[in-house]
Homo-oligomer: A and B are copies of this chain.
């Protein structure tokens, strides 16, 4: 079998941090940061002290990255990893986290939409001339709004 005689966790040919960074699109410093805050397990090292990563690390890191892209906080992602991890995931728990996050997103969208409308109509009223009463400053100023 060409399969692996691993030192620890099924890992031969590891990649150094720079290549993991390229593979996953996550910055090198960010990877080390994730290790520091325990989002990632500390990988084994070379004799010289350099980190060596395997497939599992790449997948976990990609998972984290995707979660961040979806706007999850690191703590939420940590929870999702724990749920998805040792196979004992209850889908309902995962769903709960995601649903909560969806609520947050919807609230943010609603807030931003209000802002957008207010700003857009205000800017539309602004001629761009040098006018003593600027509508944009007006909505900012308590005296008039």
Write the residues of chain A forming the contact surface with B, with a CB cutoff of 8 angstroms: 59, 62-63, 66-67, 70-71, 80, 83-84, 89-92, 94-95, 98-99, 101-102, 105-106, 108-109, 112-113, 115-116, 118-120, 122-123, 126-131, 134, 136-137, 139-143, 145
Across the interface, A131 reaches (CB within 8 A) one of B71, B80, B91, namely: B91
Determine if A137 and B80 form an interchain contact, defined as CB atoms under 8 angstroms apart: yes
Q: Which of B66, B95, B115, B119 contacts A140 (CB 8 A)?
A: B66
Q: Do A70 and B136 form a contact, CB below 8 Å, given A109-B112, A113-B109, A142-B62?
A: no
Q: List 30 A-B contacts (CB under 8 A).
A: A59-B142, A63-B140, A63-B141, A63-B142, A66-B139, A66-B140, A66-B141, A70-B140, A80-B140, A83-B137, A84-B137, A89-B130, A89-B137, A91-B126, A91-B127, A91-B128, A91-B130, A91-B136, A92-B130, A94-B126, A94-B134, A95-B126, A95-B136, A98-B119, A102-B119, A102-B123, A105-B112, A105-B115, A109-B109, A109-B113
